[in-house]
């Protein structure tokens, strides 16, 4: 579900005629099961069975479930950042910031309010090894960087008095969207993202500056 929700934005591609290789099938199944069932509830044997690969083939690609999870998190990060870069490469800067909010709303609806894969993982595995947690932090850092670059562009269109601190506003937008995702997951509704737009309006009208 997660991977499908991200892939709907990608340009149409010709379907491969050949069957995906073992590693690709394992990854596809891990992306599906870890997201829908959770990391702890998903066993290697289920992945092997549903990916239709031999156990020896699985271990030739991944030494353990933990190694597979690291690959899963890395794949999620690459998919999300690529999708974000694509959605933030068009229109004016303010519209791109708003598109980030709308993208969160669309993602939540497409996944039936299952929630953010990274947030779900951290909540489920709060004591995740540093090798896993660092991938989540990498995603957040790259997201903030992309948003901050957009704010810098926005500043070029504003008077000096109306300019905002790029990194601070980027972090604010990130937190707004995270909060909207959590609320929409609870209420199973998109109205929290409408509130997110209203909050962004306040920060655009009253510039955020670092203390």
- The answer to whether the beta carbons of residues 9 and 83 sit under 8 Å apart is yes
- Label residue 3 by pLDDT band (50, 70, 90): low
- pLDDT value, residue 40: 96
Q: Compute CA distances 61 → 16, 29, 57, 70, 73, whole Å.
A: 22, 14, 7, 12, 16
Residue 134 CA to residue 79 CA, distance in Å, equals 17
Estimate to the nearest angstrom the gap between the alpha carbon of 64 and the chain centroid.
Answer: 24
**pTM of full prediction above 0.85:** yes
pLDDT for residue 211 is more than 70 = no
| Model confidence pLDDT, tens digit, residues 109-128 | 999 999 999 999 999 999 99
| Model confidence pLDDT, tens digit, residues 146-191 | 999 999 999 998 888 888 999 999 999 999 999 999 999 999 999 9
Residue 35 CA to residue 188 CA, distance in Å, equals 17
Average pLDDT, the chain: 90
């Amino acid at each position: 579900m997660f991977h499908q929700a991200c892939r709907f934005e990608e340009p149409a591609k010709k379907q491969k005629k050949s069957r995906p290789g073992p590693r690709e099938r394992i990854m596809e199944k891990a992306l599906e099961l870890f997201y829908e069932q959770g990391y702890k509830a998903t066993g290697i044997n289920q992945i092997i069975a549903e990916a239709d690969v031999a156990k020896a083939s699985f271990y030739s690609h991944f030494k353990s479930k933990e190694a597979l999870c690291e690959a899963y998190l890395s794949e999620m990060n690459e998919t999300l950042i690529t999708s974000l870069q694509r959605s933030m490469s068009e229109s004016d800067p303010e519209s791109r910031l708003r598109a980030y909010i709308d993208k969160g709303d669309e993602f939540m609806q497409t996944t039936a309010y299952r929630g953010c894969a990274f947030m779900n993982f951290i909540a489920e595995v709060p004591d995740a090894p540093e090798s896993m947690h660092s991938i989540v932090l990498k995603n957040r850092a790259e997201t903030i960087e992309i948003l901050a670059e957009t704010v810098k562009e926005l500043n070029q269109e504003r008077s000096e008095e109306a300019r905002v601190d790029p990194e601070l506003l980027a972090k604010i937008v990130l937190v707004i969207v995270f909060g909207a995702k959590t609320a929409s997951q609870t209420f199973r509704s998109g109205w929290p993202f409408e509130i997110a737009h209203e909050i962004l309006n306040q920060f655009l009208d009253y510039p955020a500056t670092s203390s």
